[in-house]
Amino acid sequence: MKHNHISMKAGNKRNLIELLITTGPKTRANLARESGLAPSAVTRLIRELMEDGIVSVIQFEEKNEPGRKGEVLSLSEKPVAAVFDIGVTKTSLGIAFLNGKIDVVSHFKTPRSVEEFFNFALEKVNTMRNVYNFDIVSFSVPGIVNCETKEIILAPNLEWYNVKITELFSGDFEILADNEANLSMMAEARYATDLLNVENAVFVIVREGVGTGVMIDGKVVRGNNFSAGEFGHMIVSIDSQQLCHCGNKGCWELFASIRWANQRYGLLNGNNHIDKFEELLSLTKQGDEKAKSVLMEHAYNVAIGIVNIVNGVNPEVVIIGGSLSSAPDWYFSKVEEIVKERALKMAVKDLKIRPTIFTEPSSNLVGAAVYAIERYLDKVVSYSVS
């Protein structure tokens, strides 16, 4: 009986927190009305959440009629985690707050040596701890990650294999790590209003490689050995002799990554593929016909892979992000047009294809923050009612 009471109390607290996350700051009266809980129960639960530092008052409601103005409540701006978006060429580091805010602290060139990377990352985190109080570090990784053991099984574009993060990143931190596309899917599911009632969606992330995060029945699918969603390595050209970083030939990634577009165009300014692709996008917007032609071909390559995903997964929404987040509107329209021409008619009947809602910070970084915030709330809310 006591256990059931504790579980119910924790569930009610999480429901109130979810309302504040999904619909924004609210008064206690609004929370009671929208949650269906008694006003007295909401008052008691909010008081406990405020004592735990999870909820705080941000202002008083505006109203013209006489009477006491209600306090408008929100999740607190409390530092929760250091978050990393590990890119093949560039890594971003930020501090994630409980209310969803992310401050990007720095960007740095990703060291090729995995030992060097995590030594440098640890120095950065220890420096941040002089300013912020947090005990979670969350990593977005361009590869296959065992989320339970915190092991990078395979990050082919970085040439990192079987990396046990906890052995290289020591300290009194809780480590979280997941694939960048999975985290991007989590970020969209958390904050995109058009996904509020969507159960099945796919996030396609295009950078130096191509990855996908797949959400089925409202949950991100990781698979038996954490390799679910590796559609970047499905074979789209059975005759291709070009070798992919994964060791196979004919992978979708070979034709849909930004590397393909950059190499197709030729000479571009930039220190890495991301910089060069940004120039390609800029040239397209300036009216460079060659750049536009290359980007049109690239849209076709991306669309062909999405056709296969749509036929196999039947999502309601396909989201495209990574370096394509700032592509022109016609790019996404072209992808959708090709997908709807080539995919099974039933698979595209209600399909929507759009760019990610995130540009800066990236969907990867936001996803790493969402992962950390969920973990923090799981710990604090369950602890506070035990």
Asked if residues 316 and 192 have their Cβ atoms less than 8 Å apart, the reply is no
Which residues 6+ apart lie within 8 Å of 122 measured at CB? 169, 170, 171
Q: Can you tell me which residue has the tokens 């056709």?
A: 307
SS3 of residue 350 by DSSP: coil
**Alpha-carbon span 209 to 253, nearest angstrom:** 6
For residue 46, the surrounding DSSP H or E stretch is: helix 39-51
**Alpha-carbon span 131 to 106, nearest angstrom:** 14
For residue 298, give both structure tokens.
């690239």
Please give the angle made by the CA atoms of 345, 350 and 294, to the nearest 5 degrees. 75
Which residues 6+ apart lie within 8 Å of 120 measured at CB? 108, 111
**What is the residue-level pLDDT of the chain in tens, covering all 386 positions?**
444 556 788 889 999 998 998 888 999 999 999 999 999 999 999 999 999 899 999 888 776 566 567 789 999 999 999 999 999 999 999 999 999 999 999 999 999 999 999 999 999 999 999 999 999 999 999 999 999 999 999 999 999 999 999 999 988 899 999 999 999 999 999 999 999 899 999 999 999 999 999 999 999 999 999 999 999 999 999 999 999 988 999 999 999 999 999 999 999 999 899 999 999 999 999 999 999 999 999 999 999 999 999 999 999 999 999 999 999 999 999 999 999 999 999 999 999 999 999 999 999 999 999 999 999 998 888 655 44
Going along the chain from its start, the domains and CATH numbers come out as 1-75 (1.10.10.10), 79-183+364-383 (3.30.420.40), 193-356 (3.30.420.40)
Instruction: Concatenate the DSSP letters of all residues of 223-266 into one string.
Output: -TTS-TT-GGGSBS-TT--PBPTTS-BSBTHHHHSHHHHHHHH-
**Alpha-carbon span 307 to 337, nearest angstrom:** 11
Q: What is the chain's length?
A: 386
What percentage of the chain carries pLDDT values higher than 90?
85
Asked if residues 147 and 284 have their Cβ atoms less than 8 Å apart, the reply is no
Q: Tell me what pLDDT residue 68 has.
A: 65
